[in-house]
Amino acid sequence: MGSSALVLLTICGIAFAAGGILLSKALAKTSTNSQKGETYECGIPTTGTSFIQFNVGYYLFALIFLIFDVELVFMYPWAVVVKEVGMPAFVEILVFMFILFMGFLYAWKKGALRWD
C-alpha cells in the first residue's frame, strides 16, 4: 500500500521535472549564436577541459565517508533494539565504536581530515 503511493509520488516528481523542462522548451524563444554555447569562465575562453583528474583531497573524504556510512547502517538496527536487550547490546556497540573510533583517529592523525 505504502509503496504504490511512493511510486505515484515518484512519478509525479519526474513528471513535474520533465514537464517543466519540456514546457519551457516549448514556450521559450530560442536563437542560435555560436558564442552562447561557450563555457562561462568570466568572459575569458576557458583553458582546457574540466573533465580532468581532480585533486584527491575531496575523494579522501568520500572514502572515509564510505567506511563510516556502512558502520552507520549497522548501528540503525542496533539503536532500535538497545532498550530491550539492555547492557549486553551497549557493551557490544562500545567495542564496535571503539574500533570505529580508532580508525577515525588514525585517519585524523594521518591528516586525511585536514585540508591542504
Partner 1 sequence: MDLSILIEKSVLVVILFSVSLAVAAYSTYAERKIAAFLQDRYGPDRAGPWGLLQPLADGGKMFFKEEIIPNASDKFLFILGPCIFMTTALMTSAAIPWGKSLHLFGRDISLQVANLNIGILYIFAIVSIGVYGIMIGGWASNNKFALLGAIRASSQMISYELAMGMAIIALLLTSNSLSIRDIVDQQAGFHWNVFYQPLGFIIFLVCAFAECNRTPFDLPETETELVGGYHTEYSSMKLGLYLFAEYTNMFISSAVISCLYFGGYHFPFIDSLNLPQNVAAIISVFVLFAKVCFFIFFFMWIRWTLPRFRYDQLMRLGWQMLLPLAIVNVLITGAWLTYFK
Partner 2 sequence: MKLLGEDIVTETGEFIINMGPQHPSTHGVLHLKIWLDGETIKKIEPHLGYIHRSIEKMSEKMSYRQFIYLTSRMDYLSAHMNNQACALVVEKALQVEVPERAKAIRILLAELSRIGSHLLWFASVGLDLGGVTPFFYAFREREAINSLMEENCGARLTQNFHVPGGILEDVNPDFQKRVKEVIKQLKDNFHEYDEILTGNVIFQNRLKGVGYLSKEDAISLGCSGPTARASGVVCDIRKSNPYDGYEKLEFDEVVLTGGDSWARYQVRMAEMLQSIKIIEQMIDNMPEGDIVAKTKNVIKLPKGEFYQRVETARGELGVYIVSEGAATPYRCKYRSPNFANLSAIPIAAKGGKIGDLIAIMATVDLIIPDIDR
Positions that interact with partner 1 (CB under 8 A): 1-6, 8-10, 12-14, 16-18, 20-21, 23-25, 27-31, 36-42, 46, 49-51, 54, 58, 61-62, 64-65, 68-69, 72, 75-76, 79-84, 86-87, 89-90, 93-94, 97, 101, 104, 108, 113-116
For position 114 contacting partner 2 by CB under 8 A, the verdict is: no
Grid cell at residue 6: 511512493
- What is the Cα 89 distance to its own chain's centre? 30
- What is the Cα 110 distance to its own chain's centre? 24
User: Shortest approach of partner 2 to residue 37 CB, angstroms?
Assistant: 15
| Segment near partner 2 (CB under 8 A); pick from 16-24, 28-36, 50-58, 103-111 | 50-58
**How far, in Å, CA of 19 to CA of 26, rounded?**
10
Grid cell at residue 47: 583553458
Q: Assign residue 24 a region (left: φ > 0; alpha: ψ between -120 and 50; beta: otherwise).
A: alpha
Residues that bind partner 2 (CB under 8 A): 41-44, 46-49, 51-58, 115-116
